[in-house]
Chain A
Amino acid sequence: MNLAPLNNNNKFFSENEYNYYVSQAREHLASLDTKIIFYKVNKAKSQIDDLYGEAYEEEVTLDGAIEIPAIIKIDASENKAYVSDKSILRFEEYGNLTASVLIQDLEFYNANIVYGDYIAYRFSETQVLYFQVANDSQKLSSKNTFLGYKPYWKTITCTPVNKGEEFFRA
């Protein structure tokens, strides 16, 4: 694979400018001070059922938490009922969390976020919300680039999970 620097847009936009804008984005994120807390599932230490490949909470082992700056959006919650045809056992489901992160940050923190990993978000001083990655955006598009010059950010989509804080402390 040819890993030489890209020169396709050098006349108007170069690697230096790319790095400059990424650093500006980083400053912007630093000023926002919003972060996701990334929990990588440790596949080597986790146990799964040999038939269904599923695991109970205590069988899942997470790596240590990594805080990654991100622009966070949480969709509106949904008012739902488990027994929907009779509107019985109502519950409110958090909306999905979308976290836009810099690819350089992911590389810096060595955070390879993939489908099935867990994300936490400090919603307030007293409340932490937990999600599971449902779309890790491995395949990026032009909108993730600077004017078509190299991707520099991506958005991770996560769905709420039904696990308590103990799971994430372990």
Chain B
Amino acid sequence: MKRTIDDNIKLNGKQQQVKLVEDTVKNDTFFPKGVHIDDMDRSIRDNFKEKFEIVSQGKAIPFLDIFSIQRFSEFMKTWQNVDETNTINLPFIIMVRENSEKGTNLGGTFNIASDITFPVWKRNTVRNGRATVDFYQIAQPVNIDITYIVHLFTSHQREVNMMDEMMLHAFKSAQYYVLVNGHHMPLFLESMDDDSQVGDLEKRKYYHKKYTLKLKGYLLREEDFKKLPSIDRIILKTHASYESNAYCEVKEVDLNCDLCLNYKFNRKSPNSQTYRIPMKLEFYYDNQNPVNDYSYFLNGNLVTLPFIAEKGDELTVSHNLHKQNIINITVCAKKID
């Protein structure tokens, strides 16, 4: 019966995914930890030592790890359960590091052939008195596949059975996940082979079972990590433009008269536009053909050229012209004292 409740179980799939990602950056640096080959070797060894223990006749079968072919690495080991010639007695389990090779891209896609970095974390901060954020970016990890072979040497079929069952249960899913510096990496059981010494009647006989495991991991270099500040101030300058389709523009233009107004209508603008007169003026000329269908209204009253407008009057120009093109109606005035 379970006496405690693991909070992780309450998380749904997506929440669990997010938690796993967040766990990788739960440290003081806000970056994930780097991953090197020795990190993977160490994690695999520790994981196997801790979680794949076989207890037979009340004793745990010793687990040995040898990742180097150097004689010194064996020489320096302090073996338990050895005979008078320092040869380890059966049974025991040994893990041997095999080949490492160019890795499998688990997404089934291609690598990004550059050193660009991608944000994995965003952190609020204050810089120069302004609230802003820093982006923590890492490069795409480099995939690596590492093979490990776990050897079981024993005199008893029952211990072989125990190991077989434990491995098959652990790898009943497609893979078994190993935590390497906070990164979850899949470990696959590739094969289970028998290399027992049983053929020669006048030799010592023992079982030798081999379990080939492949770790599909990745490498992350700390020197590729980047912390980039975000933009903390934007000065936005805007310029109102009346050249939009929905506006009619009235401009004062310089045509060597006191005031020249240019009413510019386009296809979507309203048919009339009003302008407040800044001074007393006499309007005397425009650029239109008199046959065109347009009119001047001063304070709402129809007027025709020439006409005088007082300061503050509103001059409205309206037209019924076909609006396929832009219509420019320019009207000129001279100042009256």
Chain A positions near chain B (C-beta within 8 angstroms)? 49, 52, 54, 56, 58, 82-83, 86-93, 96, 127, 134-135, 157, 159-164
Instruction: Tell me whether B201 and A134 are in contact (CB under 8 A).
Output: yes
A96: chain B residues within 8 A (beta carbon): 202
B94 CB contact (under 8 Å) in A49, A52, A83, A161:
A83
Which 10 pairs of residues, A with B, have the shortest CB-CB distance? A91-B87, A52-B157, A162-B89, A162-B90, A134-B202, A159-B204, A56-B57, A88-B66, A54-B156, A83-B96
Chain B positions near chain A (C-beta within 8 angstroms)? 56-57, 64, 66, 69, 71, 74, 83-85, 87-90, 94, 96, 149, 151, 153, 155-158, 201-206, 208
Pick from A58, A88, A96, A134 the residue with the most CB of B within 10 Å: A88
Closest to A82 in B: B153
How far is A90 from B157 in the complex, measured between Cα atoms in Å? Answer: 24
Question: Could you tell me the distance in whole angstroms from the C-beta of B147 to the nearest C-beta in chain A?
Answer: 12
A162 CB contact (under 8 Å) in B71, B83, B208:
B83
A159: chain B residues within 8 A (beta carbon): 202-205
B202: chain A residues within 8 A (beta carbon): 96, 134-135, 157, 159
Instruction: Tell me whether A86 and B96 are in contact (CB under 8 A).
Output: yes
Q: A82-B151, A159-B205 are in contact. List 20 more A-B contacts (CB 8 A).
A: A49-B158, A52-B158, A54-B155, A54-B156, A54-B157, A82-B94, A82-B153, A83-B66, A83-B94, A83-B96, A90-B71, A90-B74, A91-B87, A127-B84, A134-B202, A159-B204, A160-B204, A162-B83, A162-B206, A164-B83
How far is A114 from B21 in the complex, measured between Cα atoms in Å? Answer: 65
How far is A54 from B157 in the complex, measured between Cα atoms in Å? Answer: 8
Q: Number of A-B pairs whose CB atoms are under 8 Å?
A: 64
A91: chain B residues within 8 A (beta carbon): 87-88
A90: chain B residues within 8 A (beta carbon): 71, 74
Question: Could you tell me the distance in whole angstroms from the C-beta of B211 to the nearest C-beta in chain A?
Answer: 13
Instruction: Tell me whether A164 and B89 are in contact (CB under 8 A).
Output: yes
Question: Could you tell me the distance in whole angstroms from the C-beta of A109 to the nearest C-beta in chain B?
Answer: 25
Instruction: Tell me whether A162 and B66 are in contact (CB under 8 A).
Output: no
Closest to A163 in B: B89
B205: chain A residues within 8 A (beta carbon): 159
How far is A91 from B149 in the complex, measured between Cα atoms in Å? Answer: 19
A49: chain B residues within 8 A (beta carbon): 158
B157: chain A residues within 8 A (beta carbon): 52, 54
B83: chain A residues within 8 A (beta carbon): 162, 164
Instruction: Tell me whether A54 and B85 are in contact (CB under 8 A).
Output: no
| Cross-chain pairs A/B with CB under 8 angstroms, 7 sampled | A54-B157, A56-B156, A88-B74, A89-B88, A89-B94, A90-B74, A160-B204
Instruction: Tell me whether A162 and B204 are in contact (CB under 8 A).
Output: yes
Closest to B67 in A: A88
How far is A88 from B57 in the complex, measured between Cα atoms in Å? Answer: 27
